[in-house]
Amino acid sequence: MSIELNETHDAGLRSWVDSANTGSTDFPIQNLPYGVFRRIGSHDAFHLGVAIGDQILDLNAAHASGIFSTHQGKQFDLALLSDKLNGLMDLGSAAWTALRLTLSRALRAGASQQTTLQACLLPQDQAEYALPAQIGDYTDFYTSIYHATTVGKLFRPDNPLLPNYKWVPIGYHGRSSSIGVSGQQFHRPVGQTMPPAATEPVFGPAKRMDYEMEVGIFVGNGNAAGERIAIGQSEEHVFGLCLLNDWSARDMQAWEYQPLGPFLAKNFATTISPWVVTLEALAPYRKAWTRDPADPQPLPYLESEQLRQSGAFDIELEVLLQTAAMRKDGIAPQRLSLSNFRHSYWTVSQLITHHTVNGCKLRAGDLLGSGTQSGPTPEEAGSLLELSAGGKKPLTLANGEQRTFIEDGDCIVMRGRAQKPGTARIGFGEVSGTLLPARALS
């Protein structure tokens, strides 16, 4: 699939929503990401919304105003009036493109719908969010070769990168019930760990808590059971991308992950951003995808000319930390790393195709995690495990505190944005989550 640039991508477009025109907002009129919201503290039903500047356009209210009269069909009406994005996701790429065009035209400066739609806006700082979709299944991949190699050296110094990594996109099935939206708070998990030099495991709170900077991939319309999604059609089944924090208990992970992979070390919490940025909005930030000629090249079902031309996405990924002491003193979160999604060894389209090559059925609202997005330099590491060299090199923060792993009360903030001269900045907002102390053991 190749999304062509069209009038919605015009960098010169301006909106009658003034805050969308600042140049520094994540949500200019060229973005128009989707989410689910309601007025904070209310008992109102959640509605679908579109971020525009510092505002949210309520799609339920906009639908009642009649601006979508050219979009015919009961399925479309039900999708926009829902409290989850699944119905819209299931409509398919042609419907997504048509809706984006309608929204773009209605929100442009000088649009005749301005007076009508102004009453459909809610400031983002007056909103609270729910998960964008009903997530039926969640699969987490492992697509950064830099992360895989660095972590492999810590866990398996004699064999850091297993031979299958360069041939097959590695993934595992996670726990969708533990996924929360930005602002999620969760207690430090408990379980089994094997202390250094011990001969038997112990039970108690995890000591080596970590984050993982990832990109989330929301499936749009799915496939029938037994059908494969070919590489050339894979992105037609992707509704959009979000930010994802795959929280990890590294000491529990080290004890349990062999031979069947992550379990309790990963299934207690995953946090995603409230806004889903469509692939169409990201079209100006497509990049050529390459594979080192010395490495095995993808098998034919994971290979295409279009993939090579524009299969990667140029998205900056930033991780920040705010400790409890920093919050108390009014100190803003401090950056820990800055990476980019373009470094991914496996692409979005390859993940979709590989997931279904055996006939696996994907459904609208299913979520794929990209795996930790680390880059080629140390400061681009997407986890504390890497930044602290497995806990051996503490990070010193600006206020003098040190961290090797996450402490109780720490808040991790992640941000994402695509930007370059001559195009509108496409941002993801942010995803934040806070670690609470472990619950008392009974």
- Domain of 87, CATH number, reads 2.30.30.230
Buried b (16+ CB within 10 A) or exposed e, 17-30: bebbbeeebbbbbb
- Give the Å distances, CA to CA, from 280 to 62, 64, 201, 342: 22, 26, 49, 17
The mean pLDDT value for 427-436 works out to: 98
Residue that terminates a domain, selected from 111, 129, 147: 129
Same domain? 204 vs 312: yes
pLDDT tens by residue, 254-263: 999 888 889 9
Looking at the fold, whether 417 and 366 belong to one and the same domain comes out as: yes
Looking at the DSSP assignment, which residues form a beta bridge with residue 396?
A: 402
The pLDDT of residue 159: 83
**Domain assignment present for 2:** no
User: What pLDDT, in 10s, does the model give residues 97-117?
Assistant: 999 999 999 999 999 999 999
Do 246 and 389 have their domain in common? yes
Q: Has residue 156 got a pLDDT over 90?
A: no
Q: What's the average model confidence in pLDDT over 131-159?
A: 93
Is 118 in the same domain as 148? no
pLDDT at 1 over 70: no
* Alpha carbon distance 279, 284 (integer Å): 10
Domain containing 178 equals 138-436
Q: In the structure encoding, which two tokens stand for residue 203, read together?
A: 């039970």
Residue 139 has pLDDT above 90, yes or no: yes
The confidence score (pLDDT) of residue 2 equals 61
Residue tagged 């495991």 (tokens): 201
Q: Are 165 and 288 in the same domain?
A: yes
Question: Does residue 442 register a pLDDT over 80?
Answer: no
Mean pLDDT (whole number) for 425-441? 97
By DSSP bridging, strand 55-58 and strand 190-193 are: unpaired
Please check whether residues 124 and 233 belong to one and the same domain: no
Select which of 147, 343, 354, 355 is catalytic. 147
Question: What pLDDT does 170 receive?
Answer: 96
Q: Are residues 174 and 299 in the same domain?
A: yes
The count of domains in the chain is 2
Give residue-wise pLDDT tens across range 291-348. 999 999 999 999 999 999 999 999 999 999 999 999 999 999 999 999 999 999 999 9
Average pLDDT over residues 155-183: 93
Give percent of the chain with pLDDT exceeding 90. Answer: 94
Catalytic site includes residue 147 = yes
Do residue 90 and residue 143 come from a single domain?
no
Residue 1 forms part of a structural domain:
no
For residues 30-39, average pLDDT:
98
**CA 431 – CA 369 distance, rounded (Å):** 14
Residues 6+ apart with CB under 8 A from 219: 89, 237, 238, 239, 352, 362, 363, 364, 365, 366, 367, 368
Q: Is the dihedral of CA 188, 207, 261, 170 positive or negative?
A: positive
Are 98 and 188 contained in the same domain?
no
164 lies in the same domain as 207: yes
Q: Which of 85, 104, 129 is the last residue of a domain?
A: 129
The last residue of a domain, from among 80, 102, 129: 129
Tell me the pairing of strands 367-369 and 138-141. Answer: parallel
